[in-house]
Amino acid sequence: MLELLRHRTYRRLFTAQVVALVGTGLATVALGLLAYDIAGERASAVLGTALAIKMVAYVTVAPLVDAVAHRLPRRTLLVAADLTRAAVALALPFVTQVWQVYVLILLLQAASAAFTPTFQAALPTVLPDERDYTRALSMSRLAYDLESLFSPALAAGLLSLVSYNWLFAGTTSGFLASAALVVSCVLPKPSPQGGGARGAARRAAFGLRLFRATPRLRALLALDLAVAAAGAMVIVNTVVLVRHDLGRSAGAVSVALAAYGAGSMLVALLLPRVLDRVGDRTVMLPAAFALPVVFTAYGIATLAGPSWPALLGAWCAFGAASSALLTPTGRLLRRSAAPADLPAAFAAQFSLSHACWLLTYPLAGGVAVGVGPEAAGWVLGALALAGALTATLLWPTRDVTRLTHRHPELPPHHPHLAESTGSGHSHPYVIDELHRRWPRAYGAVGR
């Protein structure tokens, strides 16, 4: 994968992504501590609401940007998003009211929702070779895992020297560095696409139809819910569990988040070799069931009271299981969409997965404030179990890529039927204009 960094434009884009992610990671730690300073024991509710606002921005803004980004200069859009995020991060240390946090988070995440799909849409044009593009997706996953490990460790080191407000300065620097790197790139122009607003609406609708009609993608959505349940427990409730329940320092919040990142990173490094030998389903379903097991083990371990070793162990296990679920996601999408439809598939995955977080973030915060963080763990664990069970039911055991099927609606001499026999024909099956529903022998759904 590292040989991709010889590509000058990709190297700068990837570096821009990494420094922006580090800045975002510092902001995650700082935001938790800011919420605790403003709201005290109610910090979980503040964080839950703020992160729910983030998900609203992702779910609503990202599809709109994906639909119209082909009309705008990509470099201009990426730089504008980075500068907006830098300005918001610079303002966050000065807030004194909860509502101010909510307004700034909305602006910050709307800009992030514009940046992410635009960045993803630029990669196939920068790396037109499918093999290079596939490896670039793996590099992006690795960047997220590295950030989840490095940013909390960096935050812990900085917090030993300065107050948490200075972490927002690091966030601002990351976004400014990202903008500078994007400015230095020459990005290919998007391919012209017609259709106007109706074309944009069709693209957005196709992504949703792709998920609805493809059994493995319906299962993926259920797995996204399980991941969101574990992630919400970690991101929303860590600061209260560490600072209030355990009485530990601000630096300990970073250590707890780093434990989550360490588990994720370890699995991300080991998983490629595993996936060479076994299928995605074999890896992802056991990982999904591991999440409610970890919730249960943590709940039992803390019945007598908060436990620092139990928290670190559970957070590390959450990171490992979540990485085993998230890393193969790109492989599922590539198997489930034609090359021309990959942008729509990734945009739909981005919106639908964040819709799951939109449910779990406020749930984690609300239950933690109303009953307690431990109760939130039991509720989120039940949700993770529901996601794992649903995915098992939706994902066919016989999940082959190449399916034999027939086209009674097409004329006999249609080009698509050139290699057809009396019993039908076979090819890698994806939902498109000629294949609007899944063959019933393999788990069909309606149009």
Q: How confident is the model at residue 329 (pLDDT cuts 50, 70, 90)?
A: confident
Regarding pTM above 0.75, the answer is no
Nearest to 111 by CA among 179, 15, 211: 179
Supply the pLDDT for residue 131. Answer: 66
Supply the pLDDT for residue 397. Answer: 84
> 275-309 pLDDT, tens per residue?
878 888 999 999 999 999 999 999 999 998 889 99
Asked if the model's pLDDT at residue 378 lies above 90, the reply is: yes
| Residue 196, burial from CB neighbour count under 10 angstroms (0-12, 13-18, 19+) | exposed
What average pLDDT is seen over the chain? Answer: 79
Higher-scoring residue by pLDDT: 169, 122: 169
Supply the pLDDT for residue 393. Answer: 94
Asked if the model's pLDDT at residue 235 lies above 60, the reply is: yes
* Residues whose CB falls within 8 Å of the CB of residue 13, separated by 6 or more in sequence, listed in order: 119, 122, 123, 126, 181, 182, 185
**What percent of the chain lies above the pLDDT cut of 90?**
20
Q: Reduced to 3 states, what is the DSSP secondary structure of residue 428?
A: strand
Supply the pLDDT for residue 291. Answer: 97
What's at 23, amino acid-wise? G
2-6, 146-150, 433-437: range with highest mean pLDDT: 2-6
**Residue 28 Rama label (left phi>0; alpha psi -120 to 50; beta):** alpha
Supply the pLDDT for residue 381. Answer: 96
Rounded mean pLDDT of 248-253?
Answer: 82
Supply the pLDDT for residue 198. Answer: 40
Nearest to 402 by CA among 432, 434, 442, 342: 442
> 138-164 pLDDT, tens per residue?
677 667 656 655 666 676 677 667 777
Supply the pLDDT for residue 446. Answer: 35
**What are the tokens at 116?**
């992410």
Asked if the model's pLDDT at residue 434 lies above 70, the reply is: no
In our burial notation (b when 16+ CB lie closer than 10 A, e otherwise), range 138-168 reads bbbbbbbbbbbbbbbbbbbebbeeeebeebb
Rounded mean pLDDT of 231-245?
Answer: 88
**What are the chain's domains?**
2-394 (1.20.1250.20)
> 383-394 pLDDT, tens per residue?
999 999 999 999
Supply the pLDDT for residue 98. Answer: 80
Q: How confident is the model at residue 210 (pLDDT cuts 50, 70, 90)?
A: confident
Supply the pLDDT for residue 138. Answer: 64
Supply the pLDDT for residue 310. Answer: 94
Asked if the model's pLDDT at residue 6 lies above 70, the reply is: yes
**What percent of the chain lies above the pLDDT cut of 70?**
78
Asked if the model's pLDDT at residue 125 lies above 80, the reply is: no
DSSP line for 358-424: HHHHHHHHHHHHHT-HHHHHHHHHHHHHHHHHHHHHHS-SS--SEEEE--TTS-TT-GGGTT-BTTB
> 181-203 pLDDT, tens per residue?
988 887 766 555 444 344 555 66
